């Protein structure tokens, strides 16, 4: 609480400092002396495709393609030749032939096989996980989430939302759990999930209560149902609340809550490395001088490792990083896919601009980049239905196949900047 009070007292003074410093590109490796600046275009410049996966004649090409060698249009049919549909869950996944009489289920969020079908017979859990103050790191449970979103909240800070589905039965400590934001509604609808959060601003909380999905928003309370608990850390209680996902099923049954299996599509997955020319070994995501990180690709494991700022830039000029790891699993935070989404950050009422109460709009369509196997793929994100996750396509409308495994989404604003220096790319968030 002391840290939060100090932060809010200094926000007015550092507000202009953030604007000045946000444009400075300084990394632990040699920074670009004169980087190519490629601004993120506004989605309004492009026509949406009526259906997410059908190329339209004369459709406008994404300008990001100009930085890469032109690619031939992919051969595409609306559904892969071989698909697996796990018990009323629609998910297009490339798969190998299965032995006669065997049951092979795939997690629609990761494309990975699931040994026990019961792992998918419940609603996913969207759990808010703090990323500031710095001492809340390392967080717990990030490596067990099937999908993770990171987005800007206010005053230079970001927050994570982990979507837990196949690993609910082993995620005994997830957190620290922090407050809800307008954006969380998108995820709760997309994944038909419960939202686990720790209170919210009165305006946002009032909005949550007005929603038709309000019964699926579960805030911190007293008792062990819902299973929130104080963590094992010597810190103030505000940043020491965690969630035990393994106890949620019993809690939901006790309260008579709807935790039934859901139908949603998580996208397309394939082990085949895409044939694209652009190699990117590091992906920097600079949200502010007090919150920045990067993903480093490791060819041996075909995964990206997450590094987080070790020191802020308030009184220094050189960025410093530490490997981010999960304090519960004791494993580094990694991802098979890193997706940068460009979305509008808007305000929904008067006074919210001064308070920095943002409402990122992950609806309709927009521009994106998909990073997998050390490669960069210019993309479009499409959310054709309010109750389905985003689908990622090439600019011509054909689907992009993710590598099976965890996907980490970085939400950048449509006004964000992009710099390239060889095989290192840098995205810088700019507040609207």
Cβ atoms 233, 240 nearer than 8 A? yes
The predicted pLDDT at position 52 comes to: 32
* Tokens coding 279: 């190699």
d(CA 174, CA 155) in angstroms, rounded, equals 24
Q: Which residue has the higher pLDDT, 403 or 71?
A: 403
The predicted pLDDT at position 355 comes to: 78
The predicted pLDDT at position 105 comes to: 85
Residue 217: CA atoms inside 13 Å, Cβ hemisphere, count? 24
pLDDT surpasses 70 at 75: no
d(CA 390, CA 192) in angstroms, rounded, equals 13
Cβ atoms 306, 130 nearer than 8 A? no
* Beta bridge mates, 321: 309
Q: Which residue has the higher pLDDT, 64 or 129?
A: 129
Q: Per-residue confidence at 331, pLDDT binned at 50, 70, 90?
A: very high
The 10s digit of each residue's pLDDT in 87-143 is: 333 344 443 444 444 555 899 999 999 888 878 899 999 999 999 999 999 999 999
- How many CB atoms are closer than 10 A to CB 245? 23
Strands (E) in 71-110, as ranges, are 105-106
* Kind plus residue range of the DSSP H or E element containing 188: helix 184-190
Collect all residues with Cβ–Cβ distance below 8 Å to 105 and sequence separation of at least 6. Answer: 84, 86, 87, 113, 114, 117, 120
* Tokens coding 63: 């300008």
* Tokens coding 129: 């996980």
- How many CB atoms are closer than 10 A to CB 246? 16
Could you give the C-alpha distances from 46 to 63, 163, 223, 277, 294, in angstroms and in order?
10, 30, 51, 24, 29
pLDDT, mean of residues 355-381: 95
- How many CB atoms are closer than 10 A to CB 215? 10
pLDDT, mean of residues 23-36: 36
The 10s digit of each residue's pLDDT in 221-249 is: 878 899 999 999 999 989 999 999 999 99
How does strand 345-346 pair with strand 334-335?
unpaired
The predicted pLDDT at position 104 comes to: 54
Measured distance between the N- and C-terminal CA atoms of the chain, rounded to whole angstroms: 28
d(CA 258, CA 186) in angstroms, rounded, equals 19
pLDDT surpasses 90 at 396: yes
- How many CB atoms are closer than 10 A to CB 16? 9
Report the candidate in 335, 321, 372 with the shortest Cα–Cα distance to residue 163: 335
* Beta bridge mates, 411: 341
pLDDT surpasses 90 at 408: yes
pLDDT surpasses 60 at 68: no
The predicted pLDDT at position 31 comes to: 35
Q: Per-residue confidence at 251, pLDDT binned at 50, 70, 90?
A: very high
Query: How much is the CA Rg of the chain, to the nearest whole Å?
Result: 21
pLDDT, mean of residues 382-389: 92
Domains and CATH numbers, the chain: 2-82+267-344+359-428 (no CATH), 105-255 (3.50.90.10)
The predicted pLDDT at position 354 comes to: 77
d(CA 173, CA 351) in angstroms, rounded, equals 36
The predicted pLDDT at position 58 comes to: 39
The predicted pLDDT at position 357 comes to: 87
Report the candidate in 54, 53, 121 with the shortest Cα–Cα distance to residue 92: 53
pLDDT surpasses 80 at 77: no
* Beta bridge mates, 284: 294, 426
**∠ CA(369), CA(372), CA(375), 5° rounding?**
75
Q: Per-residue confidence at 384, pLDDT binned at 50, 70, 90?
A: confident
CA dihedral 162, 163, 165, 169 (to 10 degrees): 30
Q: Per-residue confidence at 352, pLDDT binned at 50, 70, 90?
A: confident
The predicted pLDDT at position 222 comes to: 77
The 10s digit of each residue's pLDDT in 304-326 is: 999 999 999 998 889 999 999 99
Which bin fits 333, alpha (ψ -120 to 50), beta or left (φ > 0)? Answer: beta
Burial of 172 from C-beta contacts in 10 A (0-12 / 13-18 / 19+): middle
* Kind plus residue range of the DSSP H or E element containing 294: strand 291-298
Cis peptide bond N-terminal to 176, omega within 30 = yes
Burial of 223 from C-beta contacts in 10 A (0-12 / 13-18 / 19+): exposed
pLDDT surpasses 90 at 51: no
Cβ atoms 274, 417 nearer than 8 A? no
Q: Is 426 helix (H, G, I), strand (E, B) or coil?
A: strand
d(CA 337, CA 342) in angstroms, rounded, equals 16
The 10s digit of each residue's pLDDT in 151-183 is: 999 999 999 999 999 999 999 999 999 999 999
The 10s digit of each residue's pLDDT in 31-42 is: 333 333 333 333
The predicted pLDDT at position 136 comes to: 95
pLDDT surpasses 50 at 276: yes
């Amino acid at each position: 609480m002391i840290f939060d009070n100090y932060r809010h007292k200094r926000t007015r003074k550092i507000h202009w400092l953030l604007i000045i410093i946000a444009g400075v590109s300084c990394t632990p490796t040699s920074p670009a002396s004169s980087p190519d600046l490629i601004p993120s275009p506004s989605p309004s410049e492009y026509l949406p495709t009526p259906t997410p996966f059908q190329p339209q004649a004369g459709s406008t090409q994404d300008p990001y393609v100009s930085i890469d060698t032109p690619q031939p249009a992919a051969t595409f049919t609306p559904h892969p030749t071989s698909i697996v549909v796990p018990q009323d869950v629609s998910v297009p996944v490339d798969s190998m032939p299965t032995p006669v009489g065997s049951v092979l289920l795939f997690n629609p969020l990761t494309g990975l096989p699931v040994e026990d079908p019961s792992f998918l017979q419940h609603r996913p859990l969207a759990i808010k996980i703090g990323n500031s103050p710095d001492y809340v790191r390392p967080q717990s449970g990030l490596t067990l989430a099937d999908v993770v979103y990171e987005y800007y909240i206010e005053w230079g800070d970001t927050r994570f939302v982990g979507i837990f589905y196949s690993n609910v039965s082993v995620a005994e400590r997830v957190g620290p759990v922090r407050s809800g934001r307008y954006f969380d509604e998108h995820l709760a609808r997309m994944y038909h999930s419960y939202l686990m959060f720790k209170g919210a601003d009165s305006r946002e909380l009032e909005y949550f209560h007005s929603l038709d999905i309000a019964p699926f928003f579960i805030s911190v309370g007293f008792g062990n149902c819902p299973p929130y608990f104080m963590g094992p850390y010597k810190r103030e209680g505000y940043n020491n609340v965690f969630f035990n996902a393994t106890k949620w099923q019993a809690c939901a049954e006790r309260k008579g809550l709807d935790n039934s299996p859901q139908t949603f599509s998580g996208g397309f997955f394939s082990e085949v490395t895409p044939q694209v020319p652009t190699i990117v070994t590091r992906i920097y995501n600079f949200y502010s001088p007090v919150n920045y990180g990067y993903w480093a690709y490791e060819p041996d494991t075909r995964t990206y490792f997450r590094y987080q700022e070790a020191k802020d830039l308030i009184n220094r000029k050189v960025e410093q990083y530490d490997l981010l790891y999960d304090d519960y699993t004791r494993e580094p935070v990694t991802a098979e896919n890193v997706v940068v989404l460009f979305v509008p950050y808007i305000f929904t009422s008067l006074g919210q601009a001064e308070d920095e109460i943002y409402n990122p709009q992950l609806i309709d369509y927009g521009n994106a980049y998909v990073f997998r196997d050390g490669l960069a793929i210019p993309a479009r994100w499409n959310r054709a239905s309010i109750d389905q996750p985003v689908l990622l396509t090439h600019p011509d409308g054909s689907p992009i196949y993710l590598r099976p495994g965890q996907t980490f989404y970085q939400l950048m604003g449509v006004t964000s900047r992009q710099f390239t220096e060889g095989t290192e790319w840098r995205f810088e968030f700019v507040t609207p």
